[in-house]
Structure 1
Amino acid sequence: MEVSLPLEIDTVKGFLDSREGNALYRLAADASNLGPCLEVGSYCGKSTVYIGSACKLMNNTLFAVDHHRGSEEHQPGEEYHDSDLFDIRSQLMDSFHNFRSNMRAAQLEEHVVPVVAPSAVAARHWNTPLGLVFIDGGHSLQAALTDYRCWARHIVPGGYLAIHDIFPNPQDGGQAPYEIYKLALASAQFELVEIVKTLAILRRVQ
């Protein structure tokens, strides 16, 4: 399937490689036959544009879960801090305004539903079966475990779990996403479909 995006993706702040984004686009289009899609960790919406564009094409919906206060590495003084996203009034990170602007520019507001809340809060009363869950939230072990435990159970059989920033070698990057990737495989509920750069794609088999 040819990837068709409604705006220049490089104008959207984020850390998703284009090959990974294209893989998510195709995955979301495939998963749309099974149920809505959900991502954890939208930031300014780069992955949201890829997944949401596929959902728009397939007349599906993407739920975009993010508290928009930034992960640990986005805070002042940390490696990935972006001062443009720091709200002087609240003295907090706030990526939501940027996110909404990007959704409007991408003409995705009727297909992307922002859920502005921590992952565990958003999942507390969740009952909707999902065709795809994409995890790219906080990279502490606790945050990654929370995202996996909250959302993987809602994926329907045949649906997909995608996890970003998989680094088997600790020297290449943080290990929390890799740990939940191993946990998913060890559960026997998921099988590996493919790995695209640092994006692991798994299918729920039971």
Structure 2
Amino acid sequence: MTNLLAVAADTRGFLPDDEAAALRATAADAPVGTWLEIGTYCGKSTVHLGGMARDRGARLVTLDHHHGSEENQPGWEWHDPSLVDPATGRLDTLPSLRHTLAAAGLEEVVSVVVATTAQAAAWWTTPISLLFLDGNHTEATAQHDYAAFAPHLVAGGVLAVHDVFPDPADGGQAPWHVWQRALAQGGFDEVSTHGSLRVARRTG
């Protein structure tokens, strides 16, 4: 795990170390099967999940269009100009992800799907044992991602939602609304809170 932690630490992303540790612990307690990560960026959380998938014999799929969310675009707070493809002028995090997976030795463990969540939702049928929602945080997309993929969670499967901030002063509200929806509609038991990471388990 030491090498993976070093790779993750060197990878650009927005996952604090304590939440990364909580994510690994969540994966360690999830059923073995297909795990789906929504929102990859450069692969920081992918390394943490992929390492646990390799150790436990699970399969990790990470889904992202790799052109960044709104806050990653030019003129926004979290824009990184080094990630812009000079040939297209667009943000493109896919090359960084490939380098990350190679450095971590996880290329055979992680399946990379390059698509929008709307595109993938149209054909996704695989049961999911762990669903990590950390994609676009607009209200429409966050709600879509939950509605499209949470129904595929198996009984006992784990739902993890990142960037959940009950107080609007701390961050955007879309993940918080998704979390509230999951608990309100039933079928989930709340498991834990670690910073902005919330975890629940499918009851049936």
TM-score w.r.t. the length of structure 1 is 0.95
**Aligned residue number for residue 39 of structure 2:** 41
**Aligned residue number for residue 109 of structure 2:** 111
Deviates more, 1:175-184 or 1:116-125: 116-125
Distance 1:201 1:164 in 2: 9
Matched, 1:143 2:125: no
Distance 1:54 1:131 in 2: 13
Counterpart contact for 1:7–1:105, Cα < 8 Å? no
**Aligned residue number for residue 120 of structure 1:** 118
Sequence identity, in percent? 44
- Say how many residue pairs are matched: 203
Listed as ranges, the gaps of 5+ residues in structure 1 are none
TM-score w.r.t. the length of structure 2 is 0.96
Deviates more, 1:84-93 or 1:45-54: 84-93
Matched, 1:12 2:11: yes
Distance 1:89 1:26 in 2: 40
**Structure 1 runs, 4 residues or longer, greater than 3 Å off:** none
1:39-75 Cα deviation digits (max 9, x unpaired):
0001000000000000011121100000000001000
2:57 corresponds to which letter in structure 1?
A: N
Distance 1:6 1:17 in 2: 15
1:23 corresponds to which letter in structure 2?
A: A
Distance 2:180 2:4 in 1: 35
TM-aligned CA deviation for residue 146 of structure 1 = 1.2
TM-aligned CA deviation for residue 26 of structure 1 = 2.0
**Superposition CA RMSD, Å:** 1.1
